[in-house]
Amino acid sequence: MLVKAEQSGVVRGARFPGRYIQGVGTIARLGEEAGGFGEKAIVLLDNGVFDLLKADVEASFATALQVEIFRHGGECSERAIAALAAAAKSAGASVIVGAGGGKALDTAKAAGRDAGLPVIVFPTIAASDAPCSALAVVYNEDGTVAYDTFLPSNPDLVLVDTALIARAPARFLAAGIGDALATWYEAESCRRSGALNCMKMPGVPLAYEVARFCRDTIFEFGPAALDECDAKTAGPALERVVEANILLSGIGFESGGVAAAHAIHHGLCELADVHHHLHGEKVAIGVLAGLKLNGMDDEYERVRQFCLAVRLPTTLADIGIDEATPEKLAVVAKRACRAGEIIHNEPITVTEEMVVRALEALV
């Protein structure tokens, strides 16, 4: 039987980054690729990798292109976005490059919109599926989340240097696997319920197939990719998992849709206990709770074993919630189940009590 999203007479869609390039040593191509957009580039380089990568970035631009490199202060705030857009305009830049972790990339993406310029995203870790998306998370100056901003288009180019990703701590790659783990379960929930994707329409069939491919890839190559990362080697498994974490998960979540795992993640973030844990680590807990929520106990056990194999948390204590009091679980459930929240994209009716019971299974 066709599920709702497969029925005829439905307008569907998917969205993608303009181009995606991945491989060892691609940092050397950054200048050449930026040159495809014009004569002058502004690079926002993450504070965490600034000293490590500045010389390589400059070297890649050595040929003809003019470049100005700015150090990213660490926050994707309205002030940081406005400052970068203003710098790009006053420099007469033809392209903005964001290089580093999620906040530097999001700042560049939002500044590109405000300055009316194309954007190149150069992630140096594969800890989430944010790089390919048309979404930026804006923070207040005190570090709390202000709001999500939806951009009119995805980045023009996502350039990934797997040699750099392999040099970063394996914990980041594992977190990216956690974010990628949610993609198929959430897309499948949306496919079955007919819920809408980030374009406010059901995905085209390709969107759900990309999500499935994402799941299959991390299940097959996840543990070996982490071993390669431990050895600082961009081997064949790491290449596959980086593609899954960044490209497949990015397309899969935007075009397939999101549901319980990320809603429960948002709920968990209400607790100060979890603040030292990465997005993908909390999302993995959201996936496990989402499977319990749907009564999928066999799949829960399969995914739990996978999480153990790829160094992801499987209990609330693993993400800092040592005392899972009824009060704390109620706070998580309330936030996860608020009106209009993505948890209601699940094919079942979800209540706060159900979320509390699902979380209790993870104590």
Q: How far is CA 182 from CA 201, 263, 275, 324, 340, in A?
A: 20, 11, 20, 23, 20
Q: Does 106 bind Zn ion (CB under 5 A)?
A: no
**Burial profile 38-57: b = 16 or more Cβ within 10 angstroms, e = fewer:** eebbbbbbbebbbeebeeeb
Least separation in angstroms between residue 253's CB and Zn ion is 7
Least separation in angstroms between residue 264's CB and Zn ion is 12
**262 is known as an active-site residue:** yes
Task: Give me the catalytic one of 46, 156, 161, 179.
Answer: 179
Binding region for Zn ion (CB under 5 A) out of 163-171, 174-182, 192-200, 212-220: 174-182
Structural contact between residues 278 and 127, judged by C-beta atoms closer than 8 angstroms: yes
In this complex, which beta carbon is closest to Zn ion, that of residue 179 or of residue 346? 179
Binding region for Zn ion (CB under 5 A) out of 7-15, 63-71, 176-184, 268-276: 176-184
Binding region for Zn ion (CB under 5 A) out of 136-144, 151-159, 178-186, 313-321: 178-186
Least separation in angstroms between residue 152's CB and Zn ion is 21
Residues contacting 186, CB < 8 A, separation 6+? 211, 253, 256, 257, 258, 259, 260, 261, 262, 290, 345
Residue 100 bridge partners (DSSP) = 123
Nearest residue to Zn ion on Cβ basis: 179
Least separation in angstroms between residue 256's CB and Zn ion is 13
Binding region for Zn ion (CB under 5 A) out of 53-61, 83-91, 177-185, 218-226: 177-185
**Nearest residue to 40 via CA among 68, 16, 13, 17:** 68
Task: Give me the catalytic one of 72, 262, 266, 277.
Answer: 262
Least separation in angstroms between residue 276's CB and Zn ion is 18
What is the C-alpha separation between 71 and 309, in angstroms, rounded?
A: 37
**266 is known as an active-site residue:** no
What is the C-alpha separation between 182 and 250, in angstroms, rounded?
A: 11
Quickly tell me which residue has 């949610």 as its tokens.
182
Q: Which of 156, 179, 243, 254 binds Zn ion (CB under 5 A)?
A: 179
**279 is known as an active-site residue:** yes
Q: How far is CA 62 from CA 37, 137, 179, in A?
A: 16, 33, 36
Q: Does 156 bind Zn ion (CB under 5 A)?
A: no
What are the residue ranges of helices labelled H in the chain?
30-35, 50-60, 78-91, 102-115, 162-167, 170-193, 205-230, 236-242, 249-256, 260-268, 279-293, 297-309, 326-336, 352-360
Q: Does 75 bind Zn ion (CB under 5 A)?
A: no
**179 is known as an active-site residue:** yes
In this complex, which beta carbon is closest to Zn ion, that of residue 179 or of residue 239? 179
Q: Does 254 bind Zn ion (CB under 5 A)?
A: no
In this complex, which beta carbon is closest to Zn ion, that of residue 106 or of residue 179? 179
Q: Does 281 bind Zn ion (CB under 5 A)?
A: no
Least separation in angstroms between residue 179's CB and Zn ion is 4
Residues that bind Zn ion (CB under 5 A): 179
Indicate which residues carry an active-site annotation: 179, 262, 265, 279
